[in-house]
Amino acid sequence: MAIRAVIFDAYGTLYDEQSVSSLANDLCGDKGELITQLWRLKQLEYTWLRGLMRCYQDFWLITRASLEFSLTSVGISPTSSLCDRFMNKYLNLDLYAEAEQALDVLRDHELAILSNGSPKMLDALVASSGLVGRFVDLISVDRAKSFKPDPICYALVEPALEVAKDEVLFVSSNGFDVAGAKRYGFHVAWIQRTAATSATGRSDVGPAEFYRLMRGRAEHLDQVADYRVTRLTDIAPLIERLSK
């Protein structure tokens, strides 16, 4: 199998969207963890709702709206100054520790990002993490005016990189994204960053555990990843095995 291009999701795959939690704890005390998880879940929900309603709004605005919802839900006023501090963190999310090494090893392949993030957000993330020049393209779904897992988002890759879909390995840690990319026709590797967990006997699970239960395992859909790995540095050995 000839893999010419490796396409990465951004949020949760290259960049740790959970890295907002430290700031949330600093700004909102014991409500910080709950805000962190509500924010991400509502952010994803808004992309799907807007996709279904066919009323596109870019990811920056959706991220702001979902933050305001989350703050209001826990009884905190979403003032402009508070929201601005949270939003700035989304332009400076932490890069996963092994990401730079993984990209170095894959430098002989065409590397790109396909993300829900707006062009402004992706440019800022790549610049803040020192990855400028590592990718041949930062493909925002803004070009399609829709959100993943809409097939028209994955269809942006082929003309942008001049590759066929069967020459693409798509890498994501998000179950909905894995399903969408596989349904479209890419080869797909799922980054399973944590072992799949089940609820304990307690009913009072915390927000972080609830999030893991919601987003930490493969979706029960009929589109599943071709490959499961645990770290980004597993991608290069996977491609080497596939090429033999």
Query: Which residues are CB-contacts of 151 (< 8 A; sequence separation ≥ 6)?
Result: 180, 183, 184
The active-site residue, picked from 9, 58, 150, 177, is 9
Query: Which residues are CB-contacts of 244 (< 8 A; sequence separation ≥ 6)?
Result: none
Helix (H, G, I), strand (E, B) or coil at 168: strand
Contact 17, 93 (CB under 8 A): yes
Known catalytic residue at 108:
no
Environment class of 222 (CB within 10 Å of its CB; exposed 0-12, middle 13-18, buried 19+): exposed
Cα–Cα distance list, 216 to 62, 119, 194, 209 (Å): 23, 27, 7, 10
> CA 132 to CA 100: how far, in whole Å?
11
How far from the centroid of its chain's Cα atoms is residue 133's Cα?
A: 20
Of the candidates 159, 167, 16, which has an alpha carbon nearest to the alpha carbon of residue 95?
16
Residues taking part in catalysis? 9
